[in-house]
Amino acid sequence: MFDCQLGHYLTYHHVSQDFFRRHRGKYDGLIVPLSIACVFKQGTGGFVLTLNKQYALDPRTPILQADFDRQSIRRAHLEIADVHGTAVRHIFASRPLRPADVSPLAADVAASVLSFQKEFAEQSAEKVDKYAALLGEEVRTAYGGPHFLVPPYFKSSGRNDAWYPVSLNLARAAVHEKENYGLAPVLHITPGFPENEFARMAEDYDNRGFDGLVIFINDLQEYIAPSATLTKYANLIALLQGLGKPLFGLFGGYFTLLLRKIGLGCFSNAVGYGEYRDSGYHEGGQAVRRYYIPKLHRYFTDTHAETLLNIVGGTVLRCACAVCRRRRPLTDYTSQELLDHFLNARLTELQHAGATDLSELLDQLDDTREALENYPMLIDPCSHLGRWVEALRPFGKRLART
Amino acid sequence: MKNQGLPSRPLREEELRVPVQKLFPSELYFCKNEVPFGLKRIDLLFRKRSNGQEIVAVELKLRDWKKAVWQAASNRQVAAYSYVALPSASAAAIDRRLMVSLGLGLIIADPADDARIVLRAKRSRYVNRRIATEISSLLTGY
C-alpha cells in the first residue's frame, strides 16, 4: 500500500499550494492534517483533488488528549473535535479527553472520523473548477477518495498506558467502517515506550483488517535523539516488518529515510519544517527560515547554515541543485527558494539511497563526520551523524550478510 | 591572602564588556550591545564614526572558546572584523591556528585590567551587504 515510487509523502500546508503544484513529480502523495482539511475544507479539497496525487487525512486526534489552557483553544482544534463527534467536542472544550471518555464511544468515534475521510472528496467539489483551471486540467466528473484511511489514534507511553487500548479499539472499530478502502492505524508512541513491549504491540496490530501500519514516534528529533532511542526505533521497524504489512513513517528526516532500507515503505514530512512533531502542541507560530544542508542531512537556520558553509569552505558542504547553483549567501534566498532547495535535496537523497546499500550510506555519513573533525566547533552540528551510524550499523552488517 | 600573580577570574561575561569597549573608544566608534542577528545576539558591535562600512563584532565568553569561535565565525556575515574576547585564564586553551585560518581576532580581557588585542582579525570575505546595512543602521546615534 505504501510501496510508492519514491517512498515520500509531504504534509500538506495551505500556504504553499504553488509549491506542491510546481513540484508535483518530486513526491508520491500528500498527508493532509485534519485541522487544515476542516478549516479550509473547500480550498484544501479542491486543491488536493485536482493535484491528482495520492493523499490521506491525518486525524490529529492526540491534540484532544493534550492538557493546555482552554482559553486558548484554536478553531482548527475545535473542528478536529467536531469530526470526532458531538460528545468528544463537548468534553474537549472544557478539558483534555480521558481514556474513560473515549472507550465507550470507540465505535462512534471511529465511524465519524472515517466518514469524514470517505466523504472528503465529494464534499470538496465546489472549488474543484477553480483549481482544475489553475492546473490547466479538465474537471473530472468524480475524484477519488483517500489512498488509505487513518483511524483516530492517541499517544501512549506503553502497553500499560490507559490510552494504548483505546487506540487499539479505535483501530479495530475502524475495520468495520473501511469499506473498500485500505486502512492504516497509527502506532503513536513516546520515545520512552518500553522496547520489551514491542513484540506484544506487533501482535496487537497483527490484524487482517489492517492493510498497513503508520508509525509515529512523538517529537522524535532525529538529529538530537541519543543512539539508543534511534536503535529502538529501527528495531521497531524491523520487528513490524515481520508482519508483512506495509509501513509508513509519519514525520521523519534522513534517519527515517534510511529506515526504508530495513522495511519502512514510505515516510512523510512537512516542507521546510516538520520532520518531527509533538502531537500535543497546540499553538501556532511562524516558520523560521531554514536551510537544509544535504551533506549533513539536517536543517539549520539560514544564518547558522551560512556560517557552516563559510567555516568549512570549498565545496564540501555546498549543494549543487538548481536553486543553489547560483552562488550567493543563503541569507539572501527567498523563503520559496529555501523550500525548493529542500525538495530538490530530498529527491536526490531518495534516489541516491534507493541505489545504494545501507552499509555504504553509513560509510558516507562517517566520511562526512571525519572530514569535519578538524573543526572542533562543528562537533555539535554534526554529532547526529555518528549516532545515526551507531544505531544503524548492525542492520547494515546484517543486510550485507544476507 | 590575596593572590597577587593571577588576574581575578570574571564570573560574568558582563564584566568583560567595559574593558573591551575601551579598545574601541566612543570618540571613534558607535557602539551597541546585544544586537539581534538570526536567532542569536551579537554581544558588542562597533561601527567606525569616520567610515560607516567598518563594523567590528566582539563575542564575549568566559570559558567555552569553541562556542565563541562559532559565534564569531557567524558574525563575519555582518562585521568586517570579528573578534572573540576571553579572560586570560581561558585564552590559553584556544586553538590559535584555527582562529588564524578563520580570520578571527582574539582579545584578552580581564575585569581589573585593560583588554588587549593579541590577534588581529582579518577583513571578512563573507559580509552580506544587505544584512550588514540593516544592522549598521541600528548603531547610528550611539
- Of residues B66, B74, B131, nearest to A376 (C-beta): B66
Span A75-117, pLDDT tens digits:
899 999 999 999 999 999 999 999 999 999 999 999 999 999 9
CA–CA dist A20, A14 (Å, integer): 10
Cβ neighbours of B69 in A, within 8 Å:
377
Span A241-289, pLDDT tens digits:
999 999 999 999 999 999 999 999 999 998 876 789 999 988 877 778 9
Cβ neighbours of A306 in B, within 8 Å:
74, 77, 126, 128
Model ipTM?
0.83
Amino acid at A316: V
CA–CA dist A352, A321 (Å, integer): 14
**All domains of chain B in start order, with CATH:** 14-138 (3.40.1350)
CA–CA dist A383, A223 (Å, integer): 8
Specify the pairing of strand B81-86 against strand B105-108. Answer: parallel
> H or E element: which one contains A303?
helix A302-312
Would the CB atoms of A377 and B69 count as touching at under 8 Å?
Answer: yes
Would the CB atoms of B67 and A377 count as touching at under 8 Å?
Answer: yes
Query: For the packed helices A41-51 and A128-135, what is the interaxial angle rounded to 10 degrees?
Result: 40
Q: For chain A, which residues lie within 8 Å of any Cβ of chain B, measuring from their own Cβ?
A: 288, 301-304, 306-307, 310-311, 329, 331-332, 375-379
Q: Is the separation of the CB atoms in B131 and A307 below 8 Å?
A: no
Burial A65-75, CB ≥16 within 10 A → b, else e: bbeeeeeebee
- CB-based contacts of A19: which residues, under 8 Å, 6+ apart? A271, A336, A339, A340, A343
Span A310-339, pLDDT tens digits:
999 878 899 999 999 988 999 999 999 999
| CA dihedral over A290, A291, A292, A293, signed as positive or negative | negative
> What cell was used for A237?
521497524
CA–CA dist A79, A202 (Å, integer): 32
**All domains of chain A in start order, with CATH:** 8-269 (3.20.20.380), 290-401 (no CATH)
- CB-based contacts of A333: which residues, under 8 Å, 6+ apart? A291, A302, A323, A341
Would the CB atoms of A303 and B73 count as touching at under 8 Å?
Answer: no
pLDDT of residue A126: 67
Would the CB atoms of A376 and B130 count as touching at under 8 Å?
Answer: no
Span B49-89, pLDDT tens digits:
887 778 999 999 998 999 999 999 999 999 999 999 999 98
> H or E element: which one contains A21?
helix A17-22
| CA dihedral over A342, A345, A350, A353, signed as positive or negative | negative
CA–CA dist B128, A328 (Å, integer): 9
Would the CB atoms of A379 and B69 count as touching at under 8 Å?
Answer: no
Q: Does B45 touch chain A (CB under 8 A)?
A: no
Cβ neighbours of A383 in B, within 8 Å:
none
Task: For chain A, state the CA radius of gyration.
Answer: 21
